[in-house]
Structure 1
Amino acid sequence: MRAPGRPHRPPRRWAAAALALVVALATAACGGGSGSAGTDSSPASASERAAAAQKQPAGNSLVPLEGEPPTPELPVTVDSSDGRKVTVRDASRILPLNGGVAEIVFTLGLGDRVVGRDITATFEEAKDLPLVTKAHDVSAESVLSLRPTVVLADTDTGPQEAIDQIRDAGIPVVVLDPATELADVSARTTRIAEALGVPEAGEALNSRIGKDLAAARAAVPEGSRPTVAFLYMRGSAAVYLMGGKGSGADSLIEAAGAVDAGVASGLDKPFTPLTSEALVKAQPEVILMMSKGLESVGGIDGLLDVPGIRETPAGMNRRIVTLEDGVLLSFGPRTPLVIDILVDRVHRG
């Protein structure tokens, strides 16, 4: 049920178990260029960095690389994760079929070339673009109507029939591996930049992200290792899941200097149906959730009525951390911002 490349949705092989999966926060990315704001590595700056990260939650905007937008040098031939070689000759009309991919394209400075979006691209710069998904499935007709010159997808994008129809129309479709952990951020950024003919911009963005991630991780308080359970809930659909190994959230929790409760209690799948026994065994000190997920069960009071929650340290102390939908598991330019927020909020007493 991990949704590494499609925020709000598990991969298709787990689609029956949950409607979506992404925890995020709607805030601006840190700084521009390789010397972006927020690269102070002093641990004492954690609260300041987190406060800065949350100043623009309503804006939900991106900060592109400094300087003039890059000019694609094409054609290029790249490897596609579906085993094909794809030649991109024109990047004047780009269509990313994933919110995290779209975020990278915009941050590279190519946002004015993007002609549409899928439902997971929720940031401000993309909100007025035509939507090409119905529910979470790609509409080939909607894509073709926008006349894209290159389409960026990932292995979880579907249905396959729609991708085949787009490719059969002569449009290059570059398929990417999903990003499921911090280590995937630089690889995905590099592949997108190469496919669009702007490899140097990709290097600059990776440099910025790397510096900001290092600063965020350096701010972890020494000696603090709280146990955090990531719960995905949709009360209206009776979906109650706990994250475990490979959920994506486990990588972020670890980067924030905490322990993933699901992993520590032996959950070896990305998501497992939530039980009171599992919660009592995990004993999380903090519960991490989507804000919409918490709303769906009636807020904190409603969450405490879920069997097993009250018996955990997190439930007894009402230590519930919520982040808005949109960024966390997209693993992109704003991931350092997510770590800043988590470092500040999960280590509070």
Structure 2
Amino acid sequence: MRVSRRSLVALGLALALLTGACGGGSGGSSAADASPASASARAAAAEKQLAKNTLVPLEGAPPTPELPVTVDSSDGRQVTVEDASRILPLNGGVAEIVFTLGLGDRVVGRDITATFAEAKKLPQVTKAHDVSAESVLSLRPTVVLADTDTGPAEAIDQIRDAGVPVVVLDPATKLADVTTRTTRVAEALGVPEAGKALNKRMSDELAAARAAVPKGSKPKVAFLYMRGSAAVYLIGGKGSGADSLIEAAGAVDAGKGAGLDKPFTPITSEALVRARPDVILMMTKGLESVGGVDGLVKIPGIAETPAGMDRRVVDMEDGVLLGYGPRTPLVIDILVDRIHQR
């Protein structure tokens, strides 16, 4: 169920918030600027920004990389980066960081998960989620940014054997990983001060979003991962990635609260009864794959939950919800507003 837009007053406030809540250099809104009454305006501003599918880079001139640098790679290696003139991120969230740092004009290709507007015209170097070493090397990158999930391993080895520095990062699965990953990307590209500025901006935005959580509101939210065409029906638990977002938005992860200690567990009526979510959170394509809210409530056990009975379903675009990048504060703004509505 999509939450309708608020009043024209809220939308007017949203426009005013766009430069404060979503933009800026090391600034952005501070926690002191937020209040529970501003949650709808912040959410409307965030929705407007996400609908544009564009990024908001740091203010000012793009940073100039100071190289060479030697950094630790998550595959146990130390990697020396001498040239950041042709950057190739093999992860959508990492690409968002590179562009937001102001280095987008140096990016020469993209992973399939880099779906934001600035990256769309770049050549894609992955098929499904597998990296093509030949496609990567044809773009003559001077540095490649990957993560431990990037593969196949043979392709990464082939890129490295060709003399291209490959910096491997840990996957981002919780809110705290956003700043860690930003710091590591900025250091690898020789722009550590820009990384600090971006982390400061995101920290301010997150604080403002969280300050808008209504006092005393603590709904239980279940994250459901579904792909109806493949008969995949899972409920998130500890480590799903969504649990950190749900908690940051002032709610309780229903799966985690029900004792689900794995990231994902097949949905059963019994598991849903234990979880008793007040709100269901899903990716947009996942919700569409089961026929929207009407189809969702027909899945055994869903209709018997408080969320199912009230049809309280929140969905967000797949590439943004768990992207854990510079747009994550916008996700929290929207969740704070939607999951606390009654």
TM range (shorter): over 0.9
Aligned length: 323
The CA deviation string for residues 149-192 of structure 1, in whole angstroms up to 9 with x for no partner, is 00000001000000000000000000001111111111110000
1:34 to 23, 26, 32: 26
Counterpart of 1:240 in 2: which secondary structure?
strand
* Residue of structure 2 equivalent to 1:15: none
Higher deviation after alignment, 52-61 or 236-245? 52-61
**TM-score, normalised relative to structure 1:** 0.91
* Residue of structure 2 equivalent to 1:14: none
Separation of aligned partners in 2, 1:319 and 1:81: 40
The CA deviation string for residues 105-142 of structure 1, in whole angstroms up to 9 with x for no partner, is 00000000000000100111111110000111111111
CA RMSD of aligned residues (A): 1.3
The CA deviation string for residues 61-101 of structure 1, in whole angstroms up to 9 with x for no partner, is 10000000000000000000000010000000000000000
Higher deviation after alignment, 257-266 or 329-338? 329-338
Unaligned stretches of 5+ residues in structure 2 = 1-17
Q: Percent same amino acid among aligned pairs?
A: 83
The aligned runs of 1:36-115 (5 Å cut-off) are: 36=28, 40-115=33-108
The aligned runs of 1:8-23 (5 Å cut-off) are: none
Counterpart of 2:273 in 1: which secondary structure?
helix
* Residue of structure 2 equivalent to 1:127: 120
* Residue of structure 2 equivalent to 1:341: 334
2:146 to 146, 149, 153: 153
Separation of aligned partners in 2, 1:239 and 1:93: 39
Cα offset, 1:243, TM superposition: 0.4
Unaligned stretches of 5+ residues in structure 1 = 1-26
* Residue of structure 1 equivalent to 2:14: none
* Residue of structure 2 equivalent to 1:172: 165
Separation of aligned partners in 1, 2:55 and 2:134: 29
The aligned runs of 1:195-206 (5 Å cut-off) are: 195-206=188-199
**TM-score, normalised relative to structure 2:** 0.92
The aligned runs of 1:220-299 (5 Å cut-off) are: 220-299=213-292
| Structure 2 residue identity aligned to 1:102 | A
Counterpart of 2:54 in 1: which secondary structure?
coil
Cα offset, 1:60, TM superposition: 0.5
Counterpart of 2:184 in 1: which secondary structure?
helix
Does 1:217 find its partner at 2:210? yes
- Structure showing greater relative contact order (alpha-carbon pairs closer than 8 Å, 6 or more residues apart): 1
Q: Do the aligned partners of 2:39 and 2:336 also contact (CA within 8 Å) in 1? A: yes
Separation of aligned partners in 1, 2:176 and 2:208: 16
* Residue of structure 2 equivalent to 1:324: 317
Cα offset, 1:37, TM superposition: 5.0
* Residue of structure 2 equivalent to 1:118: 111
The CA deviation string for residues 231-290 of structure 1, in whole angstroms up to 9 with x for no partner, is 000000111110000111000000000010000000000111111110111110100001
- In terms of fraction of residues, the more helix-rich structure is 2
